[in-house]
Structure 1
Amino acid sequence: MMWRASHILVKDPQLATRILKELKDGEDFKILAKKYSTCPSKKKGGDLGWFGPNAMVQAFENSVRTLTVGKISKPIRTQFGLHIIKKTGQRN
């Protein structure tokens, strides 16, 4: 199984909550990633490309596995911070 995802990485839980609200209000994920994310992927609107099992930290991968394509996660905490993840693809 392979997945494709984008994410917005932040440290502050209040900021993560605000970003989620902006997304629910219709803001564009890519624009918010470029604006807020601390990950270098922000230059690509948060796009992490295609990846398979064990390529990402476990909590991140678990979230991507359970999301349906096009859906956005609640903030997921890892050692890197808080990730808001959008699953953008899946293939066998």
Structure 2
Amino acid sequence: MAKAMARHILLASEAEAARLKQRLAGGEDFARLARRHSLCPSGKRGGDLGEIRPGQLVRPIDQVIFRKALREIHGPVKSQFGYHLVQVFYRD
């Protein structure tokens, strides 16, 4: 079965997610921003979601993790929880 390793930052608004994405593009540290801004409990771990299998997360995030390019910052991605910035490290 497929699996992946990813991290994310969950934010309340698309505008806030877009601002953080710009900061990440400017070289700021993903884990530090996740710890400071993420609304998800994973923020305490720098946004680390651990090893994920298809279907474990909400569909919009699952699709990013298993279909989009590795190591890029994807998003803002909307889910019922808010807006996510997602980075996928590997998948197999």
TM-score when scaled to structure 1?
A: 0.93
Superposed structure 1 runs of 4+ greater than 3 Å apart: none
Specify the SS of the correspondent of 2:19: helix
TM-score (norm 2): 0.93
Alignment of 1:3-82 (within 5 A): 3-82=4-83
Q: CA deviation at 1:38?
A: 0.5
C-alpha RMSD of matched pairs (Å): 0.9
**Across the two proteins, how many residue pairs are aligned to each other?**
91
- AA aligned to 2:54 is P
Question: CA offset at residue 12 of structure 1?
Answer: 1.4
Which sections of structure 1, spanning at least 5 residues, go unmatched? none
Contact 2:3–2:53 (Cα < 8 Å) also in 1: yes
Aligned AA for 1:8? I
- Where does structure 2 lack aligned partners over 5 or more consecutive residues? none
Please state how far the C-alpha of 1:42 moved relative to its aligned partner: 0.6
Structure 2 distance, partners of 1:69, 1:45, is 18
Identical amino acids, percent of aligned pairs? 34
